[in-house]
Amino acid sequence: MLKSFKSSTIHVHRTILFSVKIASFPLCTTTTTTLGAKKDQFWDSAEEESSDNEWERLLKPFGLKQLRSSLSPISPSQLCKLLLLPLDIPTTMELFEKAGSQNGYSHSFDVYCILIDKLGSNGDFKTIDLLLKQMKDEGIVFKESIFIMIMRYYGKAGLPGQATRLLLDMWGVYDCEPSFKSYNVVLEILVAGNCPKVAPNVFYDMLNRGVSPTVSTFGVVMKALCMINEVDSACSLLKDMMKHGCVPNSIIYQTLIHTLSQNNRVNEAMKLLEEMFLMGCEPDVQTFNDVIYGLCRASRIHEAAKLLDRMLLRGFSADELTYGFLINGLCRTGHVDEARALLNKIPNLNAVHYNTLINGYVARGRFDEAKDLLYNNMVISGYKPDGFTFNIMIDGFCKKGRLVSALEFLHEMVTKGFEPCVVTYTILINGFCKQGRLDEAVEVVNAMWAKGLSLNTVGYNCLISAVCKDGRTEEALQLFGEMSSKGCKPDIYTFNSLIFGMCNDDKMEEALRLYRDMFMEGVIANTVTYNTLIHAFIRRGAIQQAFKLVDEMIFRGCPLDNITYTTLIKALCMAGEVEKGLAFFEEMLGKGIFPDTNCCNILINAFCRIGKPKECVPMLSRITHLSVDTATRDCLMKHHQFSISNCTDLMYKARGTWMLKRGEDVLVLVQLR
């Protein structure tokens, strides 16, 4: 028996019990129909019978305090009715303990079910576990319904792991065989609780135990697989459904189509849409929107328009998202005028559609038309421009180098009653910094401060990058200190700019200090960070220190890229260690990183210098993706004065990949196609 709760002084008067309509505590679907009927019967009798009814006889003349010491026997069915009363948990547990202490009494499954339901709604899972153990000790036969009820409470409490644990315990601890219902509940809880990685394991456990999945099972598992970008696995399950006697429904197709479209796999999404039609599953507007989005993203506007026509023929009405995707796609492909023609067709036109069009005009440098759309269409039609609208215009001017126009538009923006925000000023600061006009960038910062606005991390990064490129590293460090003091957290771009500045200024100790400080700030160094430091050490001739950084780079899981390998190969070749350079070249190819012509020329030049030009043959046979430039030719001809025939012979030995030919008395290396 559970340990009895401390005595409560709560008194429940008969007038409260019978004159007040007590809020019902609906049982989970796991409780039996008979029990629910008993509950309804109890409420009916409580309202209709006289003072001589069952409960009057049971409780008269006692309050609950007197009931505790009463010797009157309580049956399981009577206890069920008592547990259904809206009593607090301690009082409810006292009633449960009181009844259980009677001679010859045994709690029924229904008693446990009602009590666990009440505890679950209160989040008391520790007591629920104790009750399940007590049920097992008392030899009560478990029903699946009680576990499903508890699992649902775990789901509501955000405890998907506990729900999964209980599912496994049904087999191993409580000797209760779960059906597809239990598995489906747990799968739904895992997906809703943001634990999609566990869902496939639960599904395969279900299959291994011989439990037949349902359409809902497949739907939830496919959704989980899509959430973790296992789209291929989700699509393979679609083919397996028939083996289990399940026919896919609209929800399953919609889930897969949405994910495929989002992952640039629109051809597969379109095939599934066709299959959906053949299977008699009706798509909705969102399904069409997903495919239209994928087509527009792939710049396949004509196909997107055809799908829109097909959608309309099927009786669907395009919504604002449909037209939004089309407008964005048309603008991205330069068809801004065609996009503008769609404005009148949009059912719920909003500022986002106008912003997309304005951005389309700005991207093409058509600023006058963008302003015309803004003032003569958007504003007149009653749509208020927002910060995005003005920032699009200012950013467009800055990217085109028209900083004066950007400032004029800012002034125009202010005179019309629109206040610029931090993003607006940051765009201007970035524009001036990129052109090296630091004094004007500082003026923008001062104007920003005068408005009571503060620089954000992006703004500081723009300034720090600009002063570092200008060689003013001391000012960069001052800005870095100011940034930290004002609560702006530095990011990877901040540190990379500073490290680049210090390396360019040959302040390697300061660069390494910043590198160490990165990790103290919780910022992880990336490939750009390491490439900057490695290049600086190699430039100083400190190859060993450079390779120590390479080791650390690998240890921290940061991938080497084309620039890293080319830098290392060049350093090794210059140090006369050409064979090591070639080994790095082979490693580079083995990792699927393709070298550029410059990298190949470095190796060819190195082999020619040491008198081993034929060592280039294996390398040349593996770089058929490159075109040889004049530097390669000059290298071969300069170091060994190859004749045309000798060079041609060398190139043919490289598996026929390269050859030399004379064209207009100029030697040119060409790639065989």
Query: Per the domain annotation, does 436 fall within a domain?
Result: no
Query: Per the domain annotation, does 578 fall within a domain?
Result: yes
Check whether residue 614 and residue 656 sit in a common domain.
yes
| pLDDT score at 577 | 86
Check whether residue 566 and residue 628 sit in a common domain.
no
How far apart are alpha carbons 125 and 582 in whole angstroms?
64
| pLDDT score at 228 | 94
| pLDDT score at 601 | 81
Lowest mean pLDDT among 147-156, 322-331, 346-355: 346-355
| pLDDT score at 591 | 86
The 3-state secondary structure of 609-656 reads HCCCHHHHHHHHCCCCCCCCCHHHHHHHHHHHCCCHHHHHHHHHHCCC
| pLDDT score at 659 | 43
How far apart are alpha carbons 380 and 520 in whole angstroms?
53
Q: What is the mean pLDDT of the chain?
A: 83
With a cut of 90, say whether residue 125 has pLDDT above it: yes
Lowest mean pLDDT among 129-143, 204-218, 548-562, 633-647: 633-647
| pLDDT score at 121 | 93
Domain ends where: 563, 595, 627? 595
Check whether residue 591 and residue 532 sit in a common domain.
yes
Report which of 108, 121, 61 is spatially closest to residue 81, judged by C-alpha positions: 108
| pLDDT score at 404 | 93
Domain ends where: 542, 564, 595? 595
Region 77-88: mean pLDDT is 90
Helix (H, G, I), strand (E, B) or coil at 460: helix
With a cut of 90, say whether residue 147 has pLDDT above it: yes
Interstrand relation of 666-671 and 658-663 (parallel, antiparallel or unpaired): antiparallel
Query: Whole-model pTM?
Result: 0.72
| pLDDT score at 618 | 67
Lowest mean pLDDT among 305-309, 345-349, 443-447: 345-349
With a cut of 90, say whether residue 151 has pLDDT above it: yes
Check whether residue 591 and residue 619 sit in a common domain.
no
Check whether residue 544 and residue 575 sit in a common domain.
yes
Check whether residue 591 and residue 604 sit in a common domain.
no
Q: How far is CA 596 from CA 527, 563, 567, 628, 670, in A?
A: 18, 10, 12, 10, 16
With a cut of 70, say whether residue 316 has pLDDT above it: yes
Check whether residue 605 and residue 665 sit in a common domain.
yes
Please tell me which residue, 589 or 235, carries the higher pLDDT value: 235
Query: Per the domain annotation, does 575 fall within a domain?
Result: yes
How far apart are alpha carbons 479 and 482 in whole angstroms?
5
Check whether residue 580 and residue 641 sit in a common domain.
no
% of the chain residues with pLDDT over 70: 80
Check whether residue 568 and residue 619 sit in a common domain.
no
Please tell me which residue, 405 or 630, carries the higher pLDDT value: 405
To the nearest 10°, the Cα dihedral for 621, 623, 626, 630?
-60
Q: Is the dihedral of CA 184, 186, 188, 190 positive or negative?
A: negative
Element containing residue 661 per DSSP (H, E): strand 658-663
| pLDDT score at 460 | 95
CA 451 to the chain's CA centroid: 36
Check if the beta carbon of residue 236 is closer than 8 Å to that of residue 244: no
Can you tell me which residue has the tokens 């604002």? 320
- Please classify residue 547 by burial: count the beta carbons closer than 10 Å to its beta carbon, then call 0-12 exposed, 13-18 middle and 19+ buried: middle
Number of residues that make up the chain: 673
Range of 244-258, 367-381, 568-582 with top mean pLDDT: 244-258
Report which of 503, 512, 568 is spatially closest to residue 540, judged by C-alpha positions: 503
With a cut of 70, say whether residue 176 has pLDDT above it: yes
Check whether residue 589 and residue 617 sit in a common domain.
no
How far apart are alpha carbons 564 and 550 in whole angstroms?
9
To the nearest 10°, the Cα dihedral for 391, 394, 396, 401?
-150
Check whether residue 579 and residue 646 sit in a common domain.
no
Q: How many domains does the chain have?
A: 2
pLDDT digits 0-9 by tens, 205-245: 999 999 999 999 999 999 999 999 999 999 999 989 988 99
| pLDDT score at 507 | 93
Ramachandran sector of residue 493 (left: φ over 0; alpha: ψ -120 to 50; beta: rest): alpha
Check if the beta carbon of residue 647 is closer than 8 Å to that of residue 660: yes
- Please classify residue 533 by burial: count the beta carbons closer than 10 Å to its beta carbon, then call 0-12 exposed, 13-18 middle and 19+ buried: buried
Query: Per the domain annotation, does 511 fall within a domain?
Result: no
Q: Each residue of 73-89: b (16+ CB within 10 Å) or e?
A: ebeeebbbbbbbbebee
Can you tell me which residue has the tokens 């407008």? 327
Query: Per the domain annotation, does 622 fall within a domain?
Result: yes
Please tell me which residue, 590 or 422, carries the higher pLDDT value: 422
To the nearest 10°, the Cα dihedral for 212, 215, 141, 162?
110
With a cut of 70, say whether residue 159 has pLDDT above it: yes
With a cut of 70, say whether residue 629 has pLDDT above it: no
Check whether residue 531 and residue 560 sit in a common domain.
yes
Please tell me which residue, 570 or 12, carries the higher pLDDT value: 570
With a cut of 80, say whether residue 23 has pLDDT above it: no
| pLDDT score at 519 | 92
Domain ends where: 595, 623, 646? 595
Query: Per the domain annotation, does 454 fall within a domain?
Result: no
Query: Per the domain annotation, does 447 fall within a domain?
Result: no
Report which of 53, 57, 52, 46 is spatially closest to residue 84, judged by C-alpha positions: 46
How far apart are alpha carbons 376 and 372 in whole angstroms?
5
| pLDDT score at 17 | 33
ω into residue 61 within 30 of 0, thus cis?
Answer: yes
Region 645-673: mean pLDDT is 41
% of the chain residues with pLDDT over 90: 61
Task: Say which DSSP state 101 is in.
Answer: T
How far apart are alpha carbons 319 and 84 in whole angstroms?
49
Query: Per the domain annotation, does 453 fall within a domain?
Result: no
The boundaries of the domain holding residue 581 are 525-595
